[in-house]
Chain A
């Protein structure tokens, strides 16, 4: 069941999108799409069905905080778990992400084990695994 979940990976660096997608595939989630910023992500989220969002913060056009805010404001999207994966390591950013409704926060550089732990933990909390 959980392996059928569809992920949206949002990051302005294509290398990082590819890494996250490959890691998700390695940990058992092969259904994933990509977006290079918050605007593209929001458009995809509103026009297709996703179960999980993995998002960077520092992006052009619409950053990760703005995307998170838009997702949580949208009645059709607010149930989506959003895991922030970012190089932003300020404590105030982590607190802000939590207050805005992020389901988890990973600082770059990270490991496969960290991503796997956080994704599985979030899915377990939501009863999706």
Chain B
């Protein structure tokens, strides 16, 4: 690799290393001063704390969407099995009626068929309700995505400020082309700042309830 340093000099790598360290030190100092000058030091500390939170939120989204997909597929499998059963039973009872209608009724085949179909449709109805309920992930993940997008937008905004603050004068004076709005920028973020949204890790937070039974207990303790 061409380092730009004459290879004949034995002291050169050491000089280069010291130079690089000095430059990194200078850059770090400049960055620190710039962050302090912009009042961003505290914000950087907050970002550092929020990145793991954003990671856990994204993990929550992955888990919730995965569970929803699994629930839908399981219910579709069960509903299809019930549907196949109804189809097969309909063919069987049809054949019996064609063969001997009186015997089909007299021996109870028709009545049994009606009972079985009614039972199967109840199962299918439950499967359809469960499939519908599985779609609640859209609401829950949507709220969590809003929070992560907020964080990304905040960091982006502060970094742009930092860039402008530290850029050479000629670059600052140059007209800046505004890029087209990114999907993240156009994402509708409309959460109330004091509200928390879905709890991604209830076990780690004693201030939140872990399910409906805890809500009921809390309300009961208040006399509701």
Contact = CB atoms under 8 A, between A and B. Distances in A.
Contact of A58 (B195, B210, B212, B218): B195
A107 B198 CA distance: 9
Contacts of A89: 196, 198-199, 202, 208-210, 215
Interface of A: 11-13, 15-16, 19, 22-23, 26, 57-61, 63, 87-95, 98, 104-112, 114
A87 B138 CA distance: 12
Contacts of A61: 190
Contacts of B222: 95, 98
Interface stretch (B25-33, B36-44, B129-137, B155-163): B129-137
A58 B211 contact: no
Given A87-B140, A105-B219, A108-B136, 17 more contacts: A13-B142, A15-B135, A15-B139, A22-B132, A58-B143, A58-B192, A59-B192, A87-B198, A88-B197, A89-B210, A89-B215, A90-B207, A94-B218, A95-B218, A106-B212, A108-B139, A109-B136
Interface secondary structure of A, over-half rule: mixed
B131 to A, nearest CB: 11
Nearest to B191: A58
Nearest to A106: B212
14 contacts: A15-B136, A16-B136, A26-B129, A58-B191, A58-B192, A87-B143, A87-B197, A88-B196, A89-B215, A90-B207, A95-B222, A107-B212, A112-B129, A112-B133
Contacts, number: 95
A27 to B, nearest CB: 11
Interface residues of B, number: 30
A111 B207 CA distance: 23
B208 A91 contact: yes
Contacts of A112: 129, 133
Nearest to B222: A98
Given A22-B132, A98-B222, A112-B129, A107 B209 contact: yes
A63 B143 CA distance: 14
A89 B201 CA distance: 11
Interface in B93-109: none
A11 B139 contact: yes
Interface string B71-84: 00000000000000
A94 B219 contact: yes
A26 to B, nearest CB: 7
Contact of B195 (A63, A105, A111): A63
B215 A19 contact: no
B72 to A, nearest CB: 14
